[in-house]
Amino acid sequence: MNPVTPRIEIDDWFVEVGRPVQGRVSLPGAEGIDPTTERIREVRVTLRCETEGRGDRDRWIGPVQAFDVNVDGSLYGQFSLDVSPTAPVSYDGSLFRVRWAVEARTDLRLRVDRKTSVEFVVIPAGGRGYYLQPHPLPPTALR
């Protein structure tokens, strides 16, 4: 992993509509970074939703939380981004998909920003334990 690529950890793979997705974002530090060309100004964490499949492809960008980077290029921050109460639930069907992710993007001066994302599943309110719809997470994430 490149030293300027942020890392994301989320607390729970399943988030109910109307509730926040919470987790942590971090950068490892300045090792291997040339501060004259790769100065990271901030890291922005964004909630994203997109549909894909037959028909039109839609993207929705939700709340954003920005974090200042330390002088040595490191960062550790906790985020909490609210999923709207009217948001669609995750779905992974044969005709279309609804996918949710948290994305972290660096703001590099005069360079292409580095980004990473982690997918999670949005379920109906009170749906934990009975949500039977197909979802886009790999089976290893469900254990």
Q: What is the pLDDT of residue 128?
A: 65
In this prediction the pTM is: 0.79
Contacting residues for 114 by C-beta, under 8 A, at least 6 apart: 2, 4, 5, 6, 105, 106, 108
By the 8 A CB rule, do 77 and 64 touch?
A: no
Q: What is the pLDDT of residue 142?
A: 47
**Mean pLDDT in residue range 73-80:** 90
Tokens of 107: 């703001």
Q: What is the pLDDT of residue 2?
A: 46
Q: Quickly count: other Cβ atoms within 10 Å of residue 113's Cβ.
A: 12
Percent of all residues in the chain with a pLDDT value above 70, rounded to a whole number:
77
Q: What is the pLDDT of residue 143?
A: 44
**For the chain, which residues make up each domain, given as ranges?**
7-137
Q: What is the pLDDT of residue 31?
A: 53
Q: Top-level CATH class of 7-137?
A: mainly beta
By the 8 A CB rule, do 127 and 17 touch?
A: no
